[in-house]
């Protein structure tokens, strides 16, 4: 285990990321560049220990306080993130951006709202939050239990935008863009032009296999990724996995999506049944975590999407 951790840190150095990562509240805080951090959660399913923080969150320390990309998957999950932030700075979180529709992209809002933070999200994301509200709480209660979910309430964004919002905070520029559906209907990316950092939310997964569910659109996801990639970011803080570069993001997200759609498209074109689509060979991506749990479900969902395109 120690050897594997050393290998991971060496890889981060090779990519140009800081290795002064610290463990706090079950989260790894990884420095990306000056005053910019990734808060990396576990890969495991949501449970009573991780409080639905099985994702990656972004943090920017500015002259006027902290901007947080995604609040955590629950009230207690947000408190975990707060503890992680405090290992870096004692400045308060002033702005929270919800980058998409998943629980860990917004259900921690209430914690930060209590502390005076301004919450921002795309209107499409808020619509998704409201439409799936009962589903979120039903699933999290089953996965985590009522005690772990205590304090979590549906608190929606204060400020919404349709497709773009530019803001300056603490001397830093942020460009927030929603250009279409990806993993969820309201996914947005956040670009910092002065530092070349991209917070991609669930548009990018690395280290673990992405998930394709009924709330997303695999065709649009590819288009959204291309728009994000056109910014040519030097650093990417993904929705899942450690901070990375564009090359790895393409290999582990874009190429996988494109492969699924190509192979399943052939099955559909030849009149093959869904069972044939589910069984396509995905072994070239088997190095990604949770592959065995999710690969066949992904191919099934893409088949059902493409069948009606």
Q: What is the pLDDT of residues 222-244, one digit of tens each?
A: 999 999 999 999 999 999 999 99
Question: For residue 83, what are the domain limits?
Answer: 2-248
- Counted domains in the chain: 1
Who contacts 37 (Cβ-Cβ below 8 Å, separation ≥6)?
A: 29, 30, 31, 58, 59, 60, 61, 88
Instruction: Give the C-alpha separation, 46 to 17, whole Å.
Output: 27
What was the pLDDT predicted at 24?
53
Instruction: Give the C-alpha separation, 158 to 268, whole Å.
Output: 44
Q: Is the pLDDT of residue 4 over 90?
A: no
- Give residue-wise pLDDT tens across range 90-143: 999 999 999 999 999 999 999 999 999 999 999 999 999 999 999 999 999 999
- Give residue-wise pLDDT tens across range 81-90: 999 999 999 9
Strand stretches in 11-158, DSSP E: 22-24, 27-33, 36-40, 56-62, 65-69, 93-98, 118-122
Residue 306 lies in a domain: no
Q: What's the CATH code of the domain at 104?
A: 3.60.15.10
Residue 2 pLDDT grade (very low, low, confident, very high; cuts 50, 70, 90) = very low
Residue 124 lies in a domain: yes
Residue 147 pLDDT grade (very low, low, confident, very high; cuts 50, 70, 90) = very high
Q: Which residues lie across from 122 on neighbouring strands?
A: 161
What was the pLDDT predicted at 215?
74
Residue 15 lies in a domain: yes
What was the pLDDT predicted at 287?
97
Q: Is the pLDDT of residue 174 over 60?
A: yes
- Segment 277-297 shows an average pLDDT of 97
Return mean pLDDT, the chain: 92
Residue 268 lies in a domain: no
Residue 271 lies in a domain: no
pTM of the model: 0.92
Residue 108 lies in a domain: yes
Residue 157 lies in a domain: yes
Instruction: Give the C-alpha separation, 185 to 217, whole Å.
Output: 8
The total number of residues written for the chain in this structure: 309
Residue 150 lies in a domain: yes
- Segment 208-229 shows an average pLDDT of 93
């Amino acid at each position: 285990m120690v050897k594997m951790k050393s290998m991971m840190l060496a890889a981060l150095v090779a990519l140009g990321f800081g290795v002064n990562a610290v463990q706090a509240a079950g989260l790894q805080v990884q420095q990306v560049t000056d005053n910019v951090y990734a808060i990396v959660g576990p890969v495991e399913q949501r449970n009573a220990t991780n409080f639905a923080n099985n994702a990656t969150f972004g943090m920017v320390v500015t002259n006027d306080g902290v901007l947080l990309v995604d609040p955590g998957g629950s009230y207690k999950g947000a408190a975990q993130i707060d503890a992680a932030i405090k290992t870096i700075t004692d400045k308060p979180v002033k702005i929270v951006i919800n980058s998409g529709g998943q629980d860990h992209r917004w259900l921690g809002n209430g914690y930060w709202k209590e502390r005076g933070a301004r919450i921002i999200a795309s209107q499409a994301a808020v619509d998704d939050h409201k439409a799936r509200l009962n589903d979120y709480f039903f699933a999290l209660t089953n996965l985590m239990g009522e005690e772990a979910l205590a304090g979590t309430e549906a608190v929606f964004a204060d400020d919404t935008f349709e497709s773009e919002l530019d803001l300056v905070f603490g001397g830093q520029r942020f460009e927030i863009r929603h250009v279409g559906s990806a993993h969820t209907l309201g996914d947005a990316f956040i670009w910092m032009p002065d530092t070349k950092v991209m917070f991609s939310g669930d548009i990018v997964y690395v280290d673990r296999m992405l998930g394709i569910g009924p709330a997303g659109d695999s065709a649009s996801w590819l288009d959204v990724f291309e728009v994000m990639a056109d910014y040519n970011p030097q650093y990417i803080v993904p929705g899942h996995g450690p901070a990375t570069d564009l090359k790895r993001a393409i290999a582990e997200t874009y190429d996988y999506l494109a492969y699924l759609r190509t192979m399943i498209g052939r099955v559909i074109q030849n009149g093959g049944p869904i069972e044939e689509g589910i069984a396509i060979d995905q072994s070239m991506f088997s190095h990604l975590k949770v592959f065995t749990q999710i690969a066949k479900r992904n191919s099934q969902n893409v088949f059902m999407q493409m069948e009606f395109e």
